[in-house]
């Protein structure tokens, strides 16, 4: 079934994947959870593709989870399990795709959006953007992959500092911490990411792809150790009193 929640465009050997839920700041609803790994799979099967760029439509890269789903996940265990399985598939697909993946973080990358960015191979971030993984601030264990990628990108102490607080990290600080590669002006983030992807696409494909896969073996090994435990712990978070209060907290903040 075709979907417009992930747009796929071609620029020579580069495939640009755009999260296309701008009204929700590209928050991951059920459709986006399922369609993003499928889009990656379709690009992997494209014999002409040599590199991937991921970005978001509108003013955000991705706002992560959808607060509107919180009561549904608390009340429906089957739905919760399906959502967590979809999250596992998404993360594993991203760290296992053989083509090099460049993130063009055009705006806030939050929660699962931040996990997606840090699971890419190269990260360009707009100087007006930030990254954050605020799972704990909404009473959730950070189990969707951030605990796998962050210690690999930065130090364990830095990962603990930010995953235990949910603090925002401005673009320049993200580069300094090792969570992004390049800060660029807002209007240049996608074009800069595509230009870098074109550089990778012009190199010998087997050498690039298998070098990337060797490097990502660290993430896949860490995922075997931590991902299922993290998702199970995150599932338990949905049963806590603090989690049940989150939607009301957000509603009270609305002007």
- Express each pLDDT in 110-127 by its tens digit: 999 999 999 999 999 999
The string of pLDDT tens digits covering residues 135-175 is 999 999 999 999 999 999 999 999 999 999 999 999 999 99
Return the structure tokens found at 64: 């992560």
| pLDDT at position 2 | 47
pLDDT mean across residues, the chain: 94
Per-residue confidence at 70, pLDDT binned at 50, 70, 90?
confident
Q: How far apart are CA 65 and CA 174, in angstroms?
A: 21
| pLDDT at position 1 | 39
Per-residue confidence at 254, pLDDT binned at 50, 70, 90?
low
Q: How far apart are CA 10 and CA 20, in angstroms?
A: 16
| pLDDT at position 100 | 98
* Weakest-pLDDT range from 15-29, 93-107, 139-153, 237-251: 237-251
Residue 251 has pLDDT above 90, yes or no: no
* Weakest-pLDDT range from 41-55, 57-71, 152-166, 178-192: 57-71
- Residue 222: closest CA among 136, 159, 140: 159
Domain ranges of the chain: 6-201
| pLDDT at position 255 | 61
E-assigned strand segments in the chain:
6-11, 14-19, 51-56, 101-105, 109-110, 122-126, 130-132, 169-170, 182-184
Residues 165 and 136 sit within 8 Å (Cβ to Cβ):
yes
Distances (CA, A) of 23 to 5, 19, 248: 12, 11, 21
Q: Give me the CATH topology for the region 6-201.
A: 2-enoyl-CoA Hydratase; Chain A, domain 1 (3.90.226)
């Amino acid at each position: 079934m075709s979907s417009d929640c992930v747009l796929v465009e071609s620029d020579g050997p580069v495939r640009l994947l755009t999260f296309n839920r701008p009204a929700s700041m590209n928050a991951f609803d059920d459709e986006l959870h399922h369609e993003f790994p499928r889009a990656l799979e379709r690009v992997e099967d494209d014999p002409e593709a040599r590199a991937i760029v991921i970005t978001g439509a509108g003013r955000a890269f991705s706002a992560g989870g959808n607060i509107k789903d919180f009561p549904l996940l608390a009340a429906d265990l089957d739905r919760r399990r399906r959502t967590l399985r979809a999250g596992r598939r998404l993360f594993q697909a991203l760290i296992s795709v053989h083509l090099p993946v460049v993130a063009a973080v055009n705006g806030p990358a939050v929660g699962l959006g931040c996990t997606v960015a840090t699971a890419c191979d190269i990260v360009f971030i707009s100087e007006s953007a930030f990254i954050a993984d605020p799972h704990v601030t909404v009473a959730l264990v950070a189990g969707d992959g951030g605990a796998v990628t962050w210690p690999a990108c930065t130090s364990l102490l830095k990962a603990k500092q930010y995953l235990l607080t949910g603090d925002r990290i401005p673009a320049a600080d993200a580069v300094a911490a090792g969570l992004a590669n390049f800060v660029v002006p807002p209007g240049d983030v996608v074009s800069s990411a595509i230009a870098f992807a074109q550089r990778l696409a012009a190199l010998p494909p087997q050498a690039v792809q298998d070098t990337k896969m060797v490097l990502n073996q660290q993430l896949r090994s860490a995922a075997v150790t931590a991902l299922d435990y993290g998702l199970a712990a995150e599932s338990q978070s949905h049963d806590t009193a603090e989690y049940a209060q989150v939607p009301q907290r957000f509603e009270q903040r609305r002007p």
